Amino acid sequence: MPTALTAISPLVQLHVVAGHEHSILLHHLLELSSHFFRTMTGPQYVCQLYLTSDTDEQKFYYSFNKHLSYTKEIHEEMRAWVKLNIVRWKEERPKWFVIEMIPDDFLPQEVFEEEGEAKRRRSAGASVREMIGLEKIESGRVYPAP
């Protein structure tokens, strides 16, 4: 009498008939399991997504919408990619391109100078200071508003 053993998922059953497994089915189950279970870390997965992206929009998303520590292993490649494309992005202005999302040290020096260090810092931090009621004084320290 045939019996069924549950393998990998309760939805997928490996049938054993008279003690002989169906090796083709087992092979396919093992192949499928690699799609659902990975030994990859989150940062490794984000790097893989960046490296296998087909468009600049996808690469930009995986580069700058995730915590930068996730892409630490590919920062040099990301810098080279930004340097190669930033002039075109600034001219074309695609919807996904927000230059303020790119950290200062990823920008080529000439673009960084063009954008202005102080301007970039003000635009990035002003809304947070306003939201929590902090104001900046001349010494560069941040104090709560009176």
**Angle of the 75-92 helix axis to the 56-64 helix axis, nearest 10:** 120
132 vs 84, higher pLDDT: 84
Tell me what percent of the residues of the chain surpass a pLDDT of 70: 53
Asked if 99 and 90 touch (Cβ cutoff 8 Å), the reply is yes
DSSP state of 72: G
Q: State pLDDT tens for residues 31-83.
A: 665 556 668 899 999 999 999 999 999 999 999 998 999 999 999 999 999 99
3-state helix, strand, coil in the chain (%, to 5): 60, 15, 25
The yes-or-no verdict on residue 101 having pLDDT over 60 is yes
Question: Is residue 125 over pLDDT 50?
Answer: no
Do 43 and 35 touch, CB atoms closer than 8 A? no
Q: How is the chain split into domains, by residue range?
A: 3-36, 42-144
